[in-house]
Structure 1
């Protein structure tokens, strides 16, 4: 299955993912940008790369290994990739921090790189992530407009916030020790794996059908 840690920059996704990878077996950990980010990378590039990582998850799946992937692609982008329905399961966790902490981390990580306008863009992207996680109807054009032509947005654009398949776990790590955050991500990943095995995972094989994979999804 694909376990995705998403969110805007400087939320701590990569640190958490690699720490969890040291604890759990049959789990590969990768960062979305580890192959490099080209100059001028845009939304369509992110969509194509998201599909590439979904295909990588399928390769791991064939070997009985799950992929824990960090990156900024939200749930809606993952579900719209051409190969997403082939995954046995999909689960997404939004790793978030306060605006103040994000700004502080941006300054420490890339001193002098980002001007006020750029920092504001990171904060707006973080705010959009929060609302997208709650409701698929929140400004979908942010990821859909000028997108890669192979993206299948119709799979979820008709869903409402109460659709049982629209699940993004929210993890706010502001003022929280890293060790505690790692524990929480480990617990989340373990719960998603257990849910897949027991047939309770909302985004298990068949989710893209008219009513999803399960009829008894409240159990």
Structure 2
């Protein structure tokens, strides 16, 4: 299974991956973009999406060994994982690490984030929160300038429904080790079938809504 822990900058994705790596057994591998290959001087949306496909392919290889991949640490939304060319061959579960405005601003300040970028980070938090329940919300946020191989037709055009579900974890008041423990627990629940999972080929079960 591919386990995607997603979220905006400052919500604790890399922290969660590092803690989870220590808490999970060896049936789990963890990864983020820099572990899958070199990062270009100017990363693009298309490059990121190509790397998501690399993560999907790694998850498929691990599945053949009875193992799973936790992919966390980068701003990769659920929709990108589901649209990766090979994503129809693997079960995918997603957990959105959410954060309230006060905590988010404090974390960005700790990271000395340039002030002019703060509104972009805040906007991404809002978009991810909507994307968690509505696949039709401002889809151009990730489909514009995309890698041509992406299979957006799997979900673009759908309306909210029971098949579009992910786990949402509010990290606003959690210490780093608590975020890691919560993500670890989510991984285990998803693998056991006790958390929302997009099963391989899920999009074939229901025709895309006409809009």
Is the shorter-chain TM-score for this pair beyond 0.5, marking a shared fold? yes
The answer to whether residue 4 in structure 2 is matched with residue 4 in structure 1 is: yes
1:119 Cα deviation from its structure 2 partner: 1.8
The answer to whether residue 80 in structure 2 is matched with residue 77 in structure 1 is: yes
Alignment correspondent of 1:216: none
Note if contact 2:20-2:184 (Cα within 8 Å) is conserved in structure 1.
yes
Q: Deviations over 1:10-35 (max 9, x none)?
A: 11111112212222220001122333
Q: Which runs of 5+ in 1 are unaligned?
A: 213-219
Residue aligned with 1:183, SS: helix
Aligned length: 204
CA distance in 1, matches of 2:98, 2:38: 23
Residue aligned with 1:208, SS: helix
Note if contact 2:4-2:95 (Cα within 8 Å) is conserved in structure 1.
yes
CA distance in 2, matches of 1:182, 1:165: 27
Alignment correspondent of 2:193: 195
CA distance in 2, matches of 1:175, 1:12: 11
CA distance in 1, matches of 2:198, 2:77: 14
CA distance in 1, matches of 2:197, 2:119: 34
TM-score (norm 1): 0.85
Alignment correspondent of 1:119: 118
Alignment correspondent of 1:181: 179
CA distance in 1, matches of 2:143, 2:150: 9
Q: Deviations over 1:139-188 (max 9, x none)?
A: 001111221111111101132211x3211211111122334333322221
The structure, 1 or 2, with the larger RCO (C-alpha pairs under 8 Å, 6+ apart) is 2
Equivalent in 32, 50, 70 of residue 48 of structure 1? 50
RMSD over aligned CA atoms reads 2.0
Q: Which runs of 5+ in 2 are unaligned?
A: none
